[in-house]
Chains A and B, each alone.
Chain A
Amino acid sequence: MANPLAGVRAARHRLKETHPLSVLIAERLGLSVLLLWAVSVLIFAGVEALPGDFAQTYLGQSATPQAIANIRADLGLDRPITTRYFEWLGGVVQGDFGNSWASGAPVTEQITKRLGNSLFLAFFAAAISVPLAVGLGMIAVHYRNRIPDRVINIISLAAISLPEFFIGYILIVFFAVQMGVATFPSTVYDSMSLSERMSAIALPTATLVLVVLAHMMRMTRAAIISVMSSAYMETAELKGLGAFKAIVKHAAPNAIAPIVNVVALNLAYLVVGVVVVEVVFVYPGMGQYMVDAVTVRDMPVVQACGLIFAAVYILLNMVADLVAIIANPRLRHPR
């Protein structure tokens, strides 16, 4: 054998032929780890580049030189940046995210609670908005350019055009202040029962649904319309396939990819991008937690939050790609 690599390549090729999906997933997971590492470097460098270190910003205007020096020595901030980065990385590889500089408590412990809250809110918002958006999109296609289509479009576009905090305020004014039917503030805590929690998140969930609805609904509508007008749908109709069969066999596999992509993006937003909604509704999620940490340059917390956010994005995008591939035979067997 002239080239030892050739054998490996051939083996990989064979593996790809027999288990195309497993190879793809393995490759994507490997890349994800690399990507997460790059994210951690970027965040570390970014926080370092911000003016003022933890000791200065944490003590704020009441900082005295001695107190600053004491905190720096305590946390080892006086050591070179590379030493600190690799120390942190060493811990993470062993599953230890370190302790928050501000509170001294383990990062993992604090984040679990906050992440749980974020996922709780995101789950309910997604469980309502995704079926609703897809359903409304289909209705809009069915009544294309007629009154139901127009009404759905106008309402959802109006909702997306308003900033999320404004929608939040409007809901608060009507449902919490004037009618007094909704729970506000939406603060959740340990001793709450599930039903209390659900009532607490009613308003933020409604806000998020309104914010993400239009994007997914419009994409569903556009994807289905574009597929329905393509040549192969005409062929299917001409070869005598019934409307239902044509949609299931030919339209759905082609329309699902763009829809799933948009859904994944919106789900990721629901987990990582809702800090404004959290602030408006006084909801203790990940967003506010990370913003607080960045404000005082609490590096271990910023890093952990950043990695989780990046992982959520990477994971959801991967799932979206996989779903698109599995659903579509053309992508499943690339030439």
Chain B
Amino acid sequence: MTDPIKYFASRVSAHEMNRREFIGRSMAAGLTLAAATSLYGTAAMAQEPKRGGHLKLGLQGGASTDVIDPAKSASQFTFAMNRNWGDTLVESHPTSGLAVPALAESWEPNADASVWTFKIRKGVEFHDGSELTIDDVVKTLNRHTDEKSESGALGVLGSIKGIENKGGDLVLTLSEGNADLPLLLSDYHLVIQPGGGYDNPNAGIGTGPFKIDNFEAGVRATFVKNENDWRNDRGFVDSVEMIVMNDATARMAALSSGQVHFINRVDPKTVGLLKRAPNVEIQTTSGRGHYVFIMHCNTAPFDNNDLRLALKYAMDRETMVEKILGGYGKVGNDFPINETYALFPEGIEQRAYDPDKAAFHFKKSGHDGSVLLRTSDVAFPGAVDAAVLYQETAKKAGIDIEIKREPGDGYWSNVWNVQPFSTSYWGGRPTQDQMYSTAYLSSADWNDTRFFNTDFDKILLEARAELDQAKRKEMYHDMALMVRDTGGLILPMFNDFVNATTTNVSGFVQDIGNDMSNGYVATRLWLNS
């Protein structure tokens, strides 16, 4: 089976693709009608979820400072925990990235997208037996946005001015129109809790497919099936055990010895070795996270666009993906958006490594001497290697890059967003608007390239309230070009999420939303044997 067809088959088994879609796409990929029809049958039948069993996950990212309170979720571990025991109002579609209903059944904006009305699902029960009400929803959102909030979602929800219960519906009033509001509510912090979680934020009572059985911070968490789950297309196993394994080798050993069924964060350097284990399947998903080299557009010598262009052309993106990501990634084009985002601007020429152009712009910039790049391995895995690789390719263009290795501890407070040229990492955001607003709007706290462009800001705000998708896409096209050609961002690569499962589990969905099948991994997997 070729790769695209295998991918379509996995979509079928995950109920993401129907028969007609599957056959159409498989034929386009070169299969005959008869073959496609029979393949659909096997994919759909062989993959009927089995129920029962005990699922074990070995996860990187847990610490003894973790708490259940979803407002304070900061680690990969608590992220995946939230998805097990809780639900958000809205979810993002695994392949299209569009908003799909969860605890909110449907929603409707007003004409300028500044007031949104959400219908809340009826007949949903919390783990403690109480019924989900509009009150719980209002209080939850209040807890994440009030003036005492310590929530990680505070930044996302900044524009919400009013949270009201109007005749049993949730009405959100924004300070300005935002066409993406439903997707913002899919943030993993925004788990709906009874009474908003004001009484006991760490209770872990939610509406998710699994109930928390035991939680030891930094060690493990166990879950049992929620028999009163309001959905029947998830939570196939009887119980789940999530074990914190922060050592990459320990995770690989645990998986290949069959002690766990799933691990996250497979090191690209050793994925080739893990592949050789007969009982292991590598699960990669295109992601929105990207490894970046960032220049401050307002600080000499980077205040010269020719120097910035020279440094952009001096980057060998293909080699970066090959060497730093072990091939598990896609090349970037110096704007922070890739095709996993809805309304991705197509048709923008891919910037390639070009020492001649780099040398031309470098000469034109009039800069003399070396350029200082600060880096550390906490910026992204392999950041120091990437800096050295970059130094080599830049040298061929006659640009001398001096590398300064900074201590990992405190890198995010002392170097990133402080020093004029450094390596860094961005996780994706649910929408293009969020990504640009977080780091490219003139007034953003995290404008880590010091990109100040009033035209850009204006289009960004207009696009946010634009409900006409075609117009919006056009605007995002213009914005991408501005960042690409005048910004301070060098984006050599988007990293794939590399996970692995044993071959006796099925149901893994390549969810573009985030790592670990957007955190839903335990709710989607089932055991075959």
Contacts and interface: CB of A to CB of B under 8 A. Distances in A.
Contacts of A58: 65, 74
Contacts of A298: 65
B247 A279 contact: yes
A284 B65 contact: no
Nearest to A284: B219
Contact of B257 (A56, A176, A190): A176
B220 interface: yes
Given A191-B214, A284-B218, A295-B63, 18 more contacts: A51-B409, A51-B414, A52-B412, A56-B413, A59-B150, A60-B74, A64-B155, A64-B158, A66-B149, A70-B147, A176-B257, A184-B259, A282-B247, A282-B250, A289-B218, A292-B64, A292-B65, A295-B65
Interface in A74-110: 74, 100, 102-104, 110
Nearest to B63: A292
Given A51-B410, A52-B410, A177-B257, A288 B250 contact: no
B247 A64 contact: no
A258 interface: no
B144 to A, nearest CB: 10
Q: Chain B binding site: helix, strand, loop or mixed by DSSP? A: loop
B67 A104 contact: yes
A100 B158 CA distance: 29
B245 interface: yes
A80 B436 CA distance: 38
A177 B256 contact: yes
A74 B409 CA distance: 25
Given A50-B410, A282-B243, A284-B216, A173 B65 contact: no
Interface residues of B, number: 42
Interface of B: 58, 63-67, 74, 147-152, 154-155, 158, 202, 214, 216-220, 243-247, 249-250, 253-254, 256-257, 259, 409-410, 412-414, 427, 445
B201 to A, nearest CB: 9
A102 B246 contact: no
A67 B410 contact: no
Contacts of B249: 169, 172, 280
Given A62-B74, A64-B155, A282-B247, A172 B253 contact: yes
A12 B253 CA distance: 62
Interface residues of A, number: 48
A298 B67 CA distance: 13
A292 B77 CA distance: 14
A185 interface: yes
A281 B250 contact: yes
Given A66-B154, A70-B150, A293-B65, A185 B219 contact: no
A71 interface: yes
Contact of A61 (B154, B412, B414): B412
A187 B254 CA distance: 12
Question: Closest 10 A-B residue pairs measured CB to CB?
Answer: A51-B410, A102-B65, A292-B63, A52-B413, A284-B219, A292-B64, A177-B257, A64-B155, A62-B152, A289-B64
A176 B252 CA distance: 12
